[in-house]
Chains A and B, each alone.
Chain A
Amino acid sequence: MLFFNNPVRLKTLAESMKIERSTDIFSTLFLTIVLLLLARPAFALDVEALVRKVEQQYMGASSRALTTMQVKTSHWERSLEMEAWSLGRDYFLVRIIEPAKERDVATLKRYREVWNYLPKVDRVIKIPPSMMGGSWMGSHITNDDLVKANHIEKDYNLRLIKETESHYLIECLPKTDSAVVWGKIVYRINKTPQVPEQIDYYDEEMIRVREIHFDDVQQIGDRTVPLRLTVLPLEKPDEQTILHYRQLVFDLPFDETYFSLRNLKKP
């Protein structure tokens, strides 16, 4: 769920910039680039950086959130209260608070691995690769989404296809050697504030199969973030998953040791 961030990347980028600025040649070069960018913004738009930036909005180096997930299918409807922690793009932990029956059911993601903790039987289960396409907690988000989503610019070639007064439209086509599930992804990004508005997912036959809509844009600290995210599986028009961040706190003091199997089990 907290898969739209990339603070680790951001940090290294910032650090490298600092180093560059310390040398004269690099600073001149940097300045030139900035000037060029200012002079011809449309031409020099770095789409990868843009997509990364809007995805990073969700958190800083670390975050904690209280989230409500409402899942509606043709057979049932339910609402989950969850608490989630994240660190960079590679770690996150989610724990269910409500309903009581599933309290403390938790998911841990570390890099490309996903574990679930089941308090009823007091067991941790690792999701095997063959089940990555399966639904996460009964929602329209798959385990694969959790693992792959933050690697968008690694697996896809990004290209600006349209720019209007208010929006950028960015097309992502899979790189030839990457193992991905989508045939195409299209981002619609709002210019001011710079937040994602909609992401469309196409299958291999280039049929649009899923949409994610973003709204309820709020100012949190120095970030502007859409707090509500709606996943629509287009093959099932009466189904949807709504993820609503109710509390979102950035830049908390914990490191990757927090994302341990022991912490997965311990409420």
Chain B
Amino acid sequence: MLLTLAFRNLWRNKRRTLLTLSAMVVSAALLILALGVFSGMFRDMLASATEQYYGHLVLAHSDYHERRDMFAHLDEEIASRYIPTEDSEIIGMSPRLRSFGLISLLETSQPVEMLGIIPDREKQVTSLQTKLVAGVYPSDKVGNGALIGLGLARKLRVKTGDEMVFVTQAADGSIGNDLLIITGIFATGDSRNDNNLVLAPLQWVQKLMVLPGRIHEVAMTLTDPMLAARAADRINPRLPDNVEILDWGDLLPEMREVIAAYDVSRMIIVSILYMATGLGILNTFFMSVMERTREFGILMAQGMRPWTIRSLVLLETCILGCIALAIGLTCGAVMTLYMQQVGIDLAAYITPVTYAGGTILPHLHAVFEAGNFYVPAGMLLLVSLIAGFLPANRAARLDPVQAIREV
């Protein structure tokens, strides 16, 4: 009975109800969209740091994590020995050997970071193969094909097919030097990678550094980057004392901070926006309660209890909230979907921005994240109830006699 009554009351002043409803729908939908775009931006930043270089987890000698000590190397097979293959969260593992040296072509030389990789394994961890602007990914484990960043290629004025020299201090003190052939050039938008990074087959780097069968780290990818900290905690106890797994949060503490701060800032944005929406709802219901003072007086005179009146008004706001929510979530989801599929390209206006170790790409796009839906949804309902509570209270406290007399 109460429900029917509440429904009927809502539709008595259609224009006002629809206006309030539309305000709620628009705020919810836009909020969901905005949060989706924010999440997309953070996802990009995290991806640029992890999927372009680190991976989600990095296994290495403790000294290597700390000081990048060239001599803190591990056996090539370390990962298969200690990490169970049935671990379903880990979807990629790439052994790497790192060397800092000089790359040179004719008169120009540049200091670079050289990563020795097994191409098929590295592709499971980083996504540089999707960032190629020229040539192809080095295809085999043995050859001397190399992948270099676009910034570096420009500085050295090289193109695919060119031959370069890499020189470094080998592990036995000798001067390691050999020729590389550029097979591909990548552009990630992250200047540190684009200007410094060279990828070459693992065995080539091992031979150059006189470190056969040795690696410095194993980079790993998980099904979800947010699982990294827990996965690291799970695997670390199984490893020998001098070997340690760090997650991306340890490697990029600023990034972890940024993402933690996002959860807080999301609450703040939601609160501010809904404060305005809440005032709108409050206004609507106060008006509707004032208008119906006489009516409430009659209902009470006929024996309706104050709490029933209160529930009636609250129910009305609740129904309005639910309808707004249903439409708002749908609209928000549709807009997010559009932004996810299409997005907005800002490349013409801004260049990639590197921040907190990640890169924000000049392409706005959204991602779906549960929190971006249930936080606004829950808040919307809460705000509706709070905004409905005051008018409901007022209605419940009416003195029937005076209320009836009111015109």
User: Chain A: residues with CB nearer than 8 A to chain B?
Assistant: 71, 73, 75-78, 99, 101-102, 105, 116, 118, 120-121, 123, 125-128, 130-131, 135, 137-138
In contact, A118 and B177 (Cβ under 8 angstroms)? yes
Measured CB to CB, the nearest residue on chain A to B170 is A138
Does chain A have a CB within 8 A of B127? Answer: no
- Interface residues of B, dominant DSSP: strand
- Given A125-B167, A128-B109, A75 contacting B71 (CB threshold 8 A): yes
In contact, B165 and A127 (Cβ under 8 angstroms)? no
| Contact string against A for B residues 204-235, beta-carbon threshold 8 Å, 1 for contact and 0 otherwise | 00000000000000000000000000000000
In contact, A118 and B172 (Cβ under 8 angstroms)? no
Q: How far is the CB of A25 from chain B (nearest CB, A)?
A: 52
Q: Complex Cα distance A98/B177, Å?
A: 17
* Interchain Cβ contacts under 8 Å between A and B, 20 examples: A73-B173, A77-B173, A78-B172, A102-B175, A105-B175, A116-B175, A118-B165, A118-B167, A118-B177, A121-B165, A121-B177, A121-B178, A123-B104, A125-B102, A126-B104, A126-B108, A126-B109, A128-B110, A131-B109, A138-B175
Please give me the 8 A-B residue pairs with the lowest Cβ-Cβ distance, nearest first: A76-B173, A125-B104, A138-B173, A118-B177, A123-B165, A78-B173, A121-B179, A121-B165
- CB within 8 A of B174: which of A75, A135, A138? A138
Cβ–Cβ < 8 Å partners of A71 in chain B? 173
Does chain A have a CB within 8 A of B9? Answer: no
Does chain A have a CB within 8 A of B169? Answer: yes
In contact, A120 and B110 (Cβ under 8 angstroms)? no
Cβ–Cβ < 8 Å partners of B107 in chain A? 126
Does chain A have a CB within 8 A of B111? Answer: yes
Cβ–Cβ < 8 Å partners of B71 in chain A? 75
- Given A78-B174, A121-B179, A125-B109, A138 contacting B102 (CB threshold 8 A): no
Q: How far is the CB of B111 from chain A (nearest CB, A)?
A: 5
Does chain A have a CB within 8 A of B19? Answer: no
Q: Complex Cα distance A59/B111, Å?
A: 34
If A78-B172, A78-B173 are given as contacts, then 11 extra A-B residue pairs at C-beta distance below 8 Å, sorted by A number, are: A75-B173, A78-B174, A105-B175, A118-B167, A118-B175, A118-B177, A121-B178, A126-B107, A127-B102, A131-B109, A138-B169
Q: Complex Cα distance A121/B104, Å?
A: 11
- CB within 8 A of A130: which of B108, B111, B165? B111
Q: Complex Cα distance A118/B178, Å?
A: 9
- Interface residues of A, dominant DSSP: mixed
Q: Complex Cα distance A121/B175, Å?
A: 12
| Contact string against A for B residues 34-76, beta-carbon threshold 8 Å, 1 for contact and 0 otherwise | 0000000000000000000000000000000000000100000
In contact, B172 and A76 (Cβ under 8 angstroms)? yes
Cβ–Cβ < 8 Å partners of B179 in chain A? 121
For window 162-188 of B, CB contacts with A under 8 Å fall at 165, 167, 169, 171-175, 177-179
Cβ–Cβ < 8 Å partners of B171 in chain A? 75-76
Q: Complex Cα distance A131/B109, Å?
A: 10
Cβ–Cβ < 8 Å partners of B174 in chain A? 78, 99, 101-102, 138
Q: Complex Cα distance A105/B175, Å?
A: 9
Cβ–Cβ < 8 Å partners of A126 in chain B? 104, 107-109
Q: How far is the CB of B323 from chain A (nearest CB, A)?
A: 64
Q: Complex Cα distance A131/B112, Å?
A: 11
Cβ–Cβ < 8 Å partners of B172 in chain A? 76, 78
Q: Complex Cα distance A218/B107, Å?
A: 41
Cβ–Cβ < 8 Å partners of B108 in chain A? 126
Cβ–Cβ < 8 Å partners of B109 in chain A? 125-128, 131
Q: How far is the CB of A237 from chain B (nearest CB, A)?
A: 17
In contact, A116 and B111 (Cβ under 8 angstroms)? no
Q: How far is the CB of B99 from chain A (nearest CB, A)?
A: 13
Cβ–Cβ < 8 Å partners of B175 in chain A? 102, 105, 116, 118, 137-138
Q: Complex Cα distance A41/B104, Å?
A: 54
- Given A125-B109, A135-B169, A120 contacting B178 (CB threshold 8 A): yes
Q: Complex Cα distance A75/B173, Å?
A: 8
Q: Complex Cα distance A118/B104, Å?
A: 12
Q: How far is the CB of B160 from chain A (nearest CB, A)?
A: 19
Measured CB to CB, the nearest residue on chain A to B69 is A75
